[in-house]
Structure 1
Amino acid sequence: MGAELRLELLSSFALRRDGVRLPVPVAVERLLAFVALGNRRISRARVAGALWPDAVPSRSTGCLRTALWRLRRVSDGVLDVTGTDLTLEAGIRVDVLESFAAVRRMQAGEPVLDRHSPLPDWLTMDLLPDWPDEWVAGWRGRWRMLRLHVLELLAARLATAGRYSEAVDVALAAIQDEPLRESAHRSLIAAHLAAGNRAAAVRAYYDLTTLLDRELGIAPSPEIGRLLTRR
């Protein structure tokens, strides 16, 4: 059986072979992350232009060749490279791609937690948070918004299932991640109300009111206030 290769892009970059982290040069990190996030065959010209945008084409192409050479010194079997394009080799696991797939399954109705499972780590992890690259920022924003949406969806499902304390914890995780996200606060208030904890729901509402007034000078939407008056 061949070695298992795993690429990690959530929280920080790591390339692991059979669980052992491999030393990867910075340029190779960028190359692997860009190709993995594309999740398909990408032309060499596009990769070179995206990773070395300030270089003339001949220079960026040379930088790509050097990065590919350095990758081969780290590990074989990571990229499938031709004269015109490249992609990840089949079978390489990528944490963020697996997480995107888990999100799609959950949106389709598949549960991601049972009563004995903690909140999956990937639901609270950002994509390469310390990387300044513009092409990463787009993917990071997409992943962040999707992750927050899933936390809210999960909170609602847990509350419906009568798992109120877990619903509150998940809603709080969304709020901690994005304190000004009103829909996350709505999930928390709804979870408290579903559990019959009206006082906790009112406190959460007034916490939100204070926060929005202090940070943005606005009031919560009428929809959130109506949650409290329906019950």
Structure 2
Amino acid sequence: MTSGPVGTPEGAAASEAGPPADGASASYRQGSIDLLGLVAYGELSAFERLAEDASTSPTLADKVQMAAMASGEFTHFQLVSTRLAELGADVMDAMAPFRSPFDTFHRQTAPRSWLEGLVKTFVGDGFAADFYREVAAYVDAETRAVVHTVLANEAQSDYIVARVRAGIEDDPAIAGRLALWGRRLVGEALSQAQRVAADRDHLTDLLAGTVDRPGMDLAAISRMFSRLVEEHTVRMAQLGLAS
């Protein structure tokens, strides 16, 4: 989930050019599958975490809301699975390279309270969603539409913002702790995004572009990560927390 759309990624217009020539088509296709595998495992992980967080919700209304959010994430997972099948790829195979880094990230950022769990969903998942959108600028229109559809969760964002702000109003002392938590989350998320971009050659190729499909140079990739951090700052402000 995410707090809202980011600005148009650099090189987004190049994504309208269609698939690359035969010489680059295999790498391009695998890059698209890698992106969808990332999104699929992210949605599956979000489903698991939200379902678990529902069990510790402070009110029955919160429990219902969290369960509904979890259900929505699983529906998104199914949408991505369908798109992968259309590309001739199996969702289990596509997710496999990302299971270990994702699970490690979630172990290292296990929330200690229900509110910390909400902040993690809003800040951590929001950062990841912004990264996926940036990469999606370089895939075909059908794949890009699926990515944007599964990442559009404005209603969830409104709920989380309202509940975190209410929690801070009830206990102002927790604001500092939640702000530190948010900063830790974005640091971990930024490191994970950079590792994924570096470790998956086909994703790197997707961002770098092809002869007939311009991509990003190193400076543009650096600016992309700067944009991700800027969006995090906006997201923290929405929660009423210092970034």
The verdict on a shared fold, with TM-score over 0.5 as the criterion, is no
Q: When the two structures are superposed, what TM-score results if normalisation uses the length of structure 2?
A: 0.31
Higher relative contact order (CA 8 A, sep 6+): 2
Return the structure number with greater helix share.
Answer: 2
Q: When the two structures are superposed, what TM-score results if normalisation uses the length of structure 1?
A: 0.32
Say which one has the larger Rg: 1
Return the structure number with greater strand share.
Answer: 1
